[in-house]
Amino acid sequence: MSLDTLRRRLAKPKTSVQLCLLGVVAGLLAAILIILFRLTIVHVQGLFLQTSEDFSTLAEYQRVILPVLGALLIAVFADLTGFKHYRLGIPFVIHRIKHHYGKMPIWNSANQFFGGAVALVCGFSVGREGPSVHMGATGASILAHRLHLPLNSARTLAGCGVAAGIAASFNTPLAAVIFVMEVVLREYKIHIFVPIMLAAVTGALATQFVFGHDSELALISITPLSFWHYPYLILCGAVLGAVAFGFNQNLMLIIKTFKSVNMFPRLMLAGLIAGLIGYMVPEAMGSGMSAIRLAVDSPENMQLLTTVLIAKLLATLFAIGLGIPGGLIGPVIGLGVVMGTLMSFFAQFITPGLDVSGTYGVLGMAGLLAATLHAPLAALTAVMELTSNPQIIVPAMLVISAAYITALQVFGNRSIFLQQLDFQGLPYQVSPASEALQKVGIMEEMDENFKLLYSSDKEQIKETLAAVNSQTPLIVHDKDNGYRLAEYDLSLMSDQSMTISYIPLQGLSSQATLSDAFDILKDKRSGAVYVYSQKDDQQIMGLLRWDQIRHILTIRNSLL
């Protein structure tokens, strides 16, 4: 199959073997980038840590210096690359997928790779999933760009890269698929779902091959809960929802407070705060594994767990709020496990003699994750995959529902990603019409049966119009007027004369979608655009009229 044939097939909003194979390739590219990212972190940490992410073995002064040095390196690299605005991670990827078909700026991604690796090596309380998602989308963007694929398929491949990134970060391919549909794309369509699912599987398998099958929660043992725990679980969910609201509000408060501060002092302040917190509470450093290990090893030590919870909360808020490049899902998982473990102290009175700390730790993670990200289904799926225990499903449903409803209805909480996008002025909402039309490549609907005439001579244009079939559009071109659509003006026709009207045409690349044509024609609700080859803008491939777009929106929209 030639590349041109492939591009035409991908312009259709349908599941195809070709799109699925490209989804696998995008997943593999994402996995390679993420494996390199994770190996970089593991090997560099191995130079000075006995166990990955265990900063408690470092001397006190080292725990102070390390984050400050990391912040300095991040700031210097950003300055050298001319990168002044911290638009990174999952929120930025959502914006690029919604409004730029997933095309990722290369220096932006380089800053995410280097900055994210340095932040995690140096013990900042950020997650690796933010850089992983960013790099997954970048790998897919490079693939789509190199093959000059239609933008509707490039958007799908970007979703594949995100799914592979999440799956590679947490070894949760199903939760990755749900996360993409629920948080990133915010829609469920079969022709998009299947390649994203294959990409997630590819990302998970590739990283399992390198890092093994263990997950973040493999340390935690799950104990089945009796019915008598359920009322208390609902109360726990409500508390987690309130904490999620407080977390989101305070994170946005820090971001807004330091908006006017230049990048360099802002990052250095983040390093200093992380160093001071690390000096006092080393378990609060890192993405969240130290906190999870502590919750597993000392579930009865409420004072220590409370200290770690407060320190971890502050470390996460200031690291992300001040612009350290990293994700917040990893720290939120750690915070949720610690909170759930603390809640299990009171659960011991419901069933004395039964250790339920592990179960509550997992449920705390699920509730906090669902309410913070506004992703209840992804949180539930993640819990199921990370624990491999079906007995957690019903309790998790109760906690997640209570946390999500409390955060949403009682406090009016919104997804932290959308709040960050609003603050940065990055649009993420797309009208229903544009969203439907983004799924169809312009090559799928363009009229290829047309006549092209390079002339401005009126008599020649009249002769050509008379010679062609009435259903065949005539496109004329001259240096002064560019491309125009020539047709008889039916309102001015008489028996003696045939008046010709001209409709100016704007060109679109064959990679464009119907949404791009809609944006050009929607104000006038009439007219047409011509389609040129992405290889040669002088090669006209077809014509698309407003009437065709209107027909798709009014008659065929349900199919999209």
Instruction: Specify whether 60 is located in the same domain as 143.
Output: yes
Residue 216's pLDDT is 64
For 248-259, b where at least 16 C-beta lie within 10 A, e where not — what string?
beebbebbeebe
Q: Are residues 401 and 481 in the same domain?
A: no
* Residue 417 lies inside a defined structural domain of this protein: yes
Residues 415 and 450 reside in one and the same domain: no
- 236 within a domain of the structure (yes/no): yes
At position 362, the amino acid (one-letter code) is V
Q: In what order do the strands lie in the sheet with 500-504?
A: 451-453, 474-478, 482-488, 500-504
> Please, which residues have CB within 8 angstroms of residue 67's CB and are 6 or more apart in sequence?
122, 123, 124, 270, 271, 272, 274, 275, 278, 285
Q: Are residues 147 and 258 both part of a single domain? A: no
**Selection from 30, 327, 52 nearest residue 207 by Cα:** 30
Is-contact 126 320, C-beta < 8 A? Answer: yes
The answer to whether residues 403 and 461 belong to one domain is no
CATH classification at residue 420: 1.10.3080.10
Domain co-membership, 492 together with 554: yes
Query: Residue 385 and residue 336: Cα distance in Å, rounded?
Result: 17
* CB of 123 closer than 8 Å to CB of 67: yes
Length of the chain: 560
Distance CA 38, CA 230 (A): 39
> What are the per-10-residue average pLDDT scores of the chain (560 residues)?
86 90 95 93 91 87 95 91 72 92 88 93 93 93 93 94 92 92 86 93 93 76 89 96 97 93 93 96 90 89 95 96 92 95 92 89 96 94 89 95 96 93 89 89 91 86 82 86 83 63 90 94 90 87 92 70
Tell me the C-alpha distance between 157 and 141, whole Å.
7
The last residue of one of the domains, among 193, 215, 237, is 215
In whole angstroms, what is the distance from residue 408 CA to residue 261 CA? 32
* pTM, two decimal places: 0.90
Residues 188 and 231 placed together within one structural domain of the fold: no
The domain of 548 spans: 440-559
- The reply to whether 429 falls in a domain is no
Residues 211, 259, single domain; the answer is: no
Together in a domain, 108 and 143: yes
CB atoms within 10 A of CB 389: 16
Tell me if 494 is assigned to some domain.
yes
Say if residue 399 is in the same domain as residue 256: yes
Domain count, the chain: 3
Tokens 């990391």 label which residue? 70
Report d(CA 522, CA 524) in Å as an integer. 6
| Alpha-carbon dihedral sign for residues 252, 257, 263, 266 | negative
pLDDT for 84 equals 60
pLDDT number for residue 557? 60
Residue 469: give its domain's CATH number. Answer: 3.10.580.10
Type of residue at 431: S
431 part of a folded domain: no
Same domain, 242 and 159: no
Decide if 91 is inside a domain: yes
Helix axes 190-211, 17-46, angle to 10 degrees: 30
Which of 215, 249, 266 is a domain's end point? 215
22 and 99 housed in the same domain: yes
**Residue 294 included in any domain:** yes
Last residue of a domain, one of 162, 186, 215: 215
* Residue 542 within any structural domain of the chain: yes
